Structure 1
Amino acid sequence: MNSMKSGWFSELSDLWPGVALSLEVEEVLHSERSQFQEILIVNTKSHGRALMLDGAIQCTERDEFSYHEMISYLPLCSHSKPKNILIVGGGDGGTAREVAKHPDVERIILVDIDDRVIELSKQYLPRLSLGLINPKVTVVVGDGFEFLRNHHGEFDVIITDSSDPVGPAEHLFKQPYYELLKAALKPDGIIASQAGTIWESMQQVQNTLGHCKAVFPVATYAVTAVPTYPTGQIGFVLGSLDNQINFAEPKRMFNNEELDQMEIRYYNDKIHRAAFVLPRFVEKNLQSAQKTNS
């Protein structure tokens, strides 16, 4: 649930009990209940426009680039030639925007179940929705689960840019989904999925990594900083069918001039390596994410 009180939006969730982030709201731009979820778009005093789904902040204009660059370039730069990309979720367009910048990428399919998120992002979030109108991108409105069932051995990289494990995204955090991801990949394919924060959702991180490890010969967890997400940090699980891969060492590196031309603000090869360096307590907790789903 969310709370609007005295001009402030506060994110309240059972996923992180006792913790809330608040943003001062200058204007409510749009609010509706779609077929799948509550959608709220506001203009904030300090972070530009913000998108909330079912009361949880999905992105703000001020800090969204950290999340979208990292969920895109950690897997893309770990692959030797990422040509065909699938994005499940990501209806705001931010991940598609970043993926389309990669010079090797030729074809992107974005599948999101909620057409209203797509249309409202085009209307109210032009900085993000650039990805939805890029010529490399084909947008499909539908269930990512069903889409994967009908596409086998097709993609070099699959990115799951989902909301939290409640509502329409809940099944994207379970092992059968990772089995579908595996089947949809080419032989050296890579997946990356939003996986929660170790500070408030350690069990979720352990479970998600465990599902990934049960399916992929190599699986790991990486982090990035996003101030308007719970605890200011979010993580990703990455899995690969290449059992020789070292996710912490990028295969493709861009120099500063290339990064400037691509308008990359957060990611570089140093940030890539650092994303896989985890505190000791996290390493110890994730050791319990076994290769079989308990």
Structure 2
Amino acid sequence: MRSRGMKASAIGTAVIMGSVVLSGCGGDSESKDDRPAAEASTGGGDQEQSTTAVRSAYDKTAEAETAKMTVKVKAAADGRSITSGGKGAIDLADGDSTMTVTAEGQTIEQRVVDQVLYQKAPAQKKPGGKPWMKVDLEKVAEEQGADPAQIGDPAQSAAYAKAITDDDVTRAGTEKIGGVDTQRYKVSVDVTRLPGGSQLREQIGPTLPMQIWLDDEGRIRRQQIDMTVKAPASAQSGASSSPQQVKVSTLMEFSAFGTEVEAEAPPSDQVTDMTEQVLRNGQKKS
């Protein structure tokens, strides 16, 4: 599979740092056909075709090599919510990307190059006086193991294909996404089949509800994931003000396949490495 991509979510790490991407739009588009599962799938053959379409979508999308991408996320806990969004371009083959992110009134320039996240926020207090900070996403992933934030990673999501069975997919009507005709599918992913599934199950439950919109070439045009992330048991038992669970809605859209992506690392003398600090913060939370 070509889309090996961002092995630790650029989006997820940025959210942990309080700055980034994704933000839920939550399926507000009106569908032409929203029949119940029993009516939408009229036979075993149709069901099998739907499953095949969804499972092959990640490969077909990766074959486009590059695309423009928008990501939105809404996270809600204890009666408060934070919405953030970003737009840019992604190399679907290796996960490199460039993006402008808006979160809580702040605009951030973000790049992912060779699984390293770089961020530059004009208004932020710059560590060491340098304009950029970086996080080694691969190292964070290795140290922290399974992370619900990685579910929002467009390159990681190829793992869903291996976790989807005929019982998991329901065809749910057609919609236009950015002027393109698409077929919408509702998918229930068995979390235990995903990488780090046992740990993820404890944090988000046994299944992951997802919607996916595919164009006539079988490529992903939109993907929406809604989940409730539970704090680890150790965090819940401690005297902490952190919420015990957070509801997260994530929506990604892809367009302009084949667009040019120019993701380059900033000059090293302008960058402060924040990887160890991110790891320490993660350990404190757990």
TM-score (norm 2): 0.31
Instruction: Tell which structure's C-alpha radius of gyration is larger.
Output: 2
Q: Which has the higher strand share?
A: 2
TM-score (norm 1): 0.30
- Greater RCO, 1 or 2 (C-alpha within 8 Å, sep 6+): 2
